[in-house]
Amino acid sequence: MLTVDFDRLRVGRRTRFIDVGAGAGRHSYEALRRGADVTAFDLDEVELKGVDDMFGAMQVEGEVPSTGAASVQAGTILDMPYADGTFDVVLASEILEHVPEDEQAISELERILAPGGTLAVTVPRHWPEAVCWALSDEYHANEGGHIRIYRASDLDAKLRSRGLVPLHKHHAHALHAPYWWIKCAVGVERDQHPAVRAYHRLLVWDMMSAPRTTRIAEQVLNPILGKSVALYYTKPLA
């Protein structure tokens, strides 16, 4: 389940790609399948161990082009151990809403991006996220949880303030917004609630089967209902 458009990011063979806040690695795996030089970066060392194991399994299964390479690195987004301009593509998907010092984090994202490179940032969209917060404190008021709700215009202003030039914006995951509203309404931890289980089965079926009907439906609904907003920028050459 990808939140960003890898064709728009121009990820391909030997692209120096970093997935900041990689989590379980879904975007890192796609970049590796495209033959990129991938770094999965995250604060959670346990999560990264699973990502590293999957990198190895992908190599064994022949899913990685000859140009592909991958590594994991634990650390904080506020002080990343890379030289200025190290990466052609920097991705920070669903991470800034967890970071109190978001402007410092944005500064680091811009710093490690090569001139002419592409940065993609995704966060929960304002109005679907606001519904979740209204329905449940448990959804966000926990250690490591969401600490703010972004308006796309406010996030855009922070990114532009670092000299980044906007390229594109879109929304994603319309089918996931109702799932989280249901969870927030019945209790975030109540995964066995009948409504939650039924909707989860629908999402799993959709991800595994990718039927044309739901793919078209989500494309139509994303501008209205999309749970995430994705913003794309480039760093000027000069």
CA dist., res. 92 & res. 106, Å (int): 9
pLDDT at residue 144, as a whole number: 79
Instruction: Answer yes or no: are the C-beta atoms of 113 and 235 closer than 8 Å.
Output: yes
Nearest CA among 57, 146, 161 for reference residue 97: 146
Q: Provide the angle, in degrees to the nearest 10, between the axes of the packed helices 45-60 and 26-33.
A: 30
- pLDDT tens series, the chain, 238 aa: 899 999 999 999 999 999 999 999 999 999 999 999 999 999 999 999 999 999 999 999 999 999 999 999 999 999 999 999 999 999 999 999 999 999 999 999 999 999 999 999 999 999 999 999 999 998 988 887 899 999 999 999 999 999 999 999 999 999 999 999 999 999 999 999 999 999 999 999 988 888 889 989 999 999 999 999 999 999 999 7
State both tokens at 186.
């019945």
Instruction: Answer yes or no: are the C-beta atoms of 71 and 39 closer than 8 Å.
Output: yes
